Chains A and B, each alone.
Chain A
Amino acid sequence: MGDDRMDRETQSEAIHEAVEAMADRLAEEKEHLTDLDSAIGDADHGANMNRGFQAALERLEETDGDPAELVKTAGVALVSEVGGAAGPLYGGSLMKASQELEDGITAETTVAFAERYLETVEERGKASVGDKTMVDAITPAVHTYKKAVEVDDHDPLEALGKAVDAAERGVAFTTPIRAKKGRASYLGWRSVGHQDPGATSTLYLLEELLAVATEYLDGEVEVDAETEVDPEELEEPAVEEAAVDEENEEGA
């Protein structure tokens, strides 16, 4: 577990920066996410996520507080501004999971945060692995993070790197399967062959989180936050060896 070298103020600053990085990334990927969602959904995921994270960013700029409070504020903004299922799924889950960060950001609290986030998404969306949803990206990421921290005793930054790799494989896994939940499920077999937009945006958020975490934890991790999801490249981990210790943050 972390020894709290990063004080609360720095943790809050890191959260601001992570949300900003996420908002920037979603603005960049807006068209791409909308294209993915046009193929199997209602073509609003790019615009909705962009709107939601811009709103989250604006609210955070007016908010000072503990990490838990900031994450909750971002969640509330998503819930009220998104207008699609991503509101309750991304925002509602951040709101619930933020409670786990009340003691600040440590390896222990981030594992609890990640598990609570996954649990809330599953409950709210009534989706499981294999339904071709964001759950297919979140589940392997959360399980990998937990195992890396608790079983393999990796430092949180290295664990997060592994979680991002796992999420990337999860995103690729959504392409060949048939949707059972969400708007794509209405298409039945026609949903096969298309990458899930929610799993994809989840990966973007995790990649940005890793980039910011790396910056704050002085890691020697090489991060390419712009990685496109190409199933053929999935054998190549995006993250090399990390040589860091310290607590860390984890999230959507």
Chain B
Amino acid sequence: MVGIVVVSHSRQAADGIREIAQEMGGDARIEAVGGTEDGRIGTTPGPIREAIEAIGSEGGVVVLVDLGSAVMNAELAIEEAAVDEVAIADAPILEGALNAAVAATSPSATVESVREAAEDAADVSKV
């Protein structure tokens, strides 16, 4: 089982993206992490690591991130997390999370297949 961690600068954005992705993602496990621990806009590595470890105990993890510090703090969290199979998807956070959630429901899903599905979202054309 591959799970997904959504990391945004905003707690509400992270929760909302998880909500949308979960609609398509069946029983895929999705964790939302957003904002700082004292409720500001931003990210810190601690809660990201906790989410990765919570999901990583059951299988691989693919991390979706929004801007700048979310990417760097996710990298730091991964370096410190006691989880082997984890990757950051280089993808738009909402569409990537949605694609990843669908891919994660496949019985043959791997971290690599879920990450690739998320990254395919970079090419999605809307109009």
A interface residue numbers (CB < 8 A to B): 42, 44, 48, 79-89, 92, 124-125, 182-183
A85: chain B residues at CB < 8 Å are 68-69, 72
Secondary structure of the A contact surface, majority rule: helix
Which residue from chain A places its CB closest to the CB of B73 in the assembled complex? A88
| CB-based contact B45/A79 at 8 Å | yes
B36: chain A residues at CB < 8 Å are 83
B interface residue numbers (CB < 8 A to A): 36, 40-46, 67-69, 72-73, 75-76
Q: Could you list 11 further interchain pairs (A-B, Cβ under 8 angstroms) beyond the known A83-B36, A83-B41, A85-B72?
A: A44-B40, A44-B41, A79-B44, A80-B44, A81-B44, A83-B69, A84-B43, A86-B69, A87-B72, A124-B72, A182-B68
* Given A88-B75, A124-B75; A80-B69 close (CB under 8 Å): no
| CB-based contact A80/B42 at 8 Å | no
| 17 residue pairs bridging A and B, Cβ less than 8 Å apart | A44-B40, A44-B41, A79-B45, A81-B44, A82-B42, A83-B36, A83-B40, A83-B43, A84-B42, A84-B43, A85-B68, A85-B72, A87-B44, A88-B45, A88-B69, A92-B76, A183-B68
A125: chain B residues at CB < 8 Å are 72
From the candidates A81, A88, A183, name the one contacting B72 in the complex (CB within 8 A): A88
Q: In whole angstroms, how far apart are the Cα atoms of A182 and B76 in the complex?
A: 17
Q: In whole angstroms, how far apart are the Cα atoms of A163 and B112 in the complex?
A: 44
Give, as a whole number of angstroms, the nearest-CB distance from A85 to chain B: 4
B72: chain A residues at CB < 8 Å are 85, 87-89, 92, 124-125
Q: In whole angstroms, how far apart are the Cα atoms of A171 and B68 in the complex?
A: 21
The 7 closest A-B pairs by CB, nearest first: A83-B42, A83-B36, A88-B72, A85-B69, A85-B68, A84-B69, A84-B42
